[in-house]
Structure 1
């Protein structure tokens, strides 16, 4: 018996040494798998700059934590050369984050796994009460019910709101399209409701377009971009966000990129901010329906009404003229942003995605013509690809502590 003990102990010690050496790589490794940049252990080894043995130990630890699955049988893609490698996949039955979103036409809750995958969603509510505590209590309870139904472990919760969220207080500075009071402490209220519902993990809140940009950068149309500009209009208003050098740019107090208040028509409509002709009121769904001579109906959201009108009645000259007018206003705003920010990619969401689909060449021409020396004509302008990117982005807030330090974060939940 004693003759076999020494070799086994030496092997265990060697494995432990590799894991200790690679423990600092757990978070970076998980982020690589989470964002789809390390589909195999060989790629993980190369991206981390560690030995195969260390990468193997790191992958094994992440699998033991229930976060990823390592294919037991290494394989190679057809036609590839070199040693086959173990595939790395996110655990199908792993933990989830609770994601919540509030907008002018309702709210929704979902459970989101690693990789930005929606595991479950609750039916959306179409009315938003003037009391943020009541709304956030309802959306958290919907999320708690999803957790009870699925039996999933929860790492935390994230909230997306249609307002700039001031840091470090976590207050909704200007929920212009909600009846909430300015400065409502949304993060504090959300965290209280999460705790009261018995949901484990930290709670976060941020602006919905910032979170859409974060989700698209990690999992969608912005993947691989270094300096990403996102502009979107959902149910009301226009928002923007910027990812610089791979990180969401929040500004000194969380209020950066309020692009909705760029003036694109000095003689235009009065804006909620006190100015006139801002993108917020010149390039959102209500502005489009007004330009198209349509009276908004109560049956569905303004965004859906606008999208349906463009997709189904684009041949109508009035609709086409309204599309061209909004594209010109949007293009003017984007050109100014390009001159200031010099992004390597622009992505558009909500109604702006539909406008891009309707006439991509017109929008790109306006941006190129109005940008410094026309150099921005080479900046790719793409449509967002995630259907629920603000929800996915809200979940990213809750996943971030796990990506930073998987062992410590999971120990808390």
Structure 2
């Protein structure tokens, strides 16, 4: 083979190896123009142009035909890049204590369509997952969009590599239910192509926030959130979820923050899970939970609309202090550069941000001089978006192999 042919093949191989990294840069909003893409990839302008054109041909991104400059920028205008609004989607599903929901999610974390959520979770995981996948399959038929795969978020630690729901404490599923196997079978039965994945709901919320929300740009992101019941945590290190040796890392809900507190489902007492979740807030505020709405919505509405009530304010302060104690312990151990809070914890932060930040700083090893930013999660349905991220990952790793 002559030298020119070898050089051409080398350029093609280099360009194709850059497809995945390039797609991830556009997917996460870190490459809004071809010039930024060139710089981030460390390739020539010609290679970056060829990579962008290939991704556009695959239907994954859109390249503006006319170069433009961002306001206030200097230098040569560059072609703007964005994820395709008509490209393929991932089927995302979420199960929680008060129901389930299905959605179609495109690149960029964009929710394209959602199906109305069910308000009851049956004790048979196969029945629940069959219904949520059927709802997602109907969305695909209605939209006519191509599906790259499916992801499921569940309110339980998911043991690896088996994919079993180890401790679904707040839904009536048996411990050790093979949720990944059941979910994958339901996906296959509906004719949906592409791989199927399963993960813990807070892990997936953290992944979504890191790529598309309040955690974007953080190197070590800690996420702590209340669901409809209980408390979960997750850690993203250098862009990847830290799940431990068998998928069970960061069960922060079972940190003890009140030695004389409420009995916990895990067998302990005074855990974050029962001291700072929606039921704990309603109980501490001396409000009887109603059956008509989810506990998360009831607690959030009460906090936002009746914060001037002494019982509500005192309950909020008590939960903030408990939460701050737990976060301080995590800061001492993990040393994150950012914390994001979801669910009721986000509402508690909004209600009294200075109190929470002061508790964390006062109880952290590094004190106020080393305090870590604490921010609210910003994505609606971040666990759904995170479930879709699982399905998108093979495409981000190798777009050509995944789609052709």
TM-score (norm 2): 0.97
Instruction: Count residues in correspondence.
Output: 401
Give, in whole Å, the separation in 1 of the partners of 2:237 and 2:57: 34
2:231 pairs with 1:238 = yes
Give the one of 153, 170, 182 matched to 2:175: 182
Give the one of 201, 215, 228 matched to 2:194: 201
Q: How much is the aligned-residue C-alpha RMSD, in angstroms?
A: 1.4
Q: Is the 8 A contact 1:29 1:58 kept in 2?
A: yes
Aligned to 1:281, the other structure's residue is in SS state helix
1:300-379 mapped onto 2 (5 Å cutoff): 300-375=293-368, 378-379=371-372
Give, in whole Å, the separation in 2 of the partners of 1:80 and 1:363: 39
Q: 1:75-133, CA deviations, whole angstroms, 9 ceiling, x for partnerless residues?
A: 11233221111111111100000000000000000000000000000000000000000
In structure 1, runs of 5+ residues without a counterpart are: 1-10
How much does 1:191 deviate?
0.1
How much does 1:373 deviate?
4.0
How much does 1:37 deviate?
0.2
Give, in whole Å, the separation in 1 of the partners of 2:356 and 2:318: 11
1:45-194 mapped onto 2 (5 Å cutoff): 45-194=38-187
Q: 1:221-277, CA deviations, whole angstroms, 9 ceiling, x for partnerless residues?
A: 000000010000010000000011221100000000000000001111110100000
2:11 pairs with 1:18 = yes
Match of 1:3 in 2: none
4+ runs of 1 displaced by more than 6 Å? Answer: 11-16
Aligned to 1:99, the other structure's residue is in SS state strand
Q: 1:272-300, CA deviations, whole angstroms, 9 ceiling, x for partnerless residues?
A: 10000000000000000000001100111
Aligned to 1:123, the other structure's residue is in SS state strand
Match of 2:244 in 1: 251
How much does 1:334 deviate?
0.3
Q: Is the 8 A contact 1:232 1:352 kept in 2?
A: yes
Change (3 A) 1:53 1:13: farther
Give, in whole Å, the separation in 2 of the partners of 1:12 and 1:75: 35
How much does 1:319 deviate?
0.2
Give, in whole Å, the separation in 2 of the partners of 1:62 and 1:275: 51
Which deviates the most, 83-92 or 214-223? 83-92
Give, in whole Å, the separation in 2 of the partners of 1:56 and 1:16: 17
Match of 1:261 in 2: 254
In structure 2, runs of 5+ residues without a counterpart are: none
2:203 pairs with 1:223 = no
How much does 1:49 deviate?
0.1
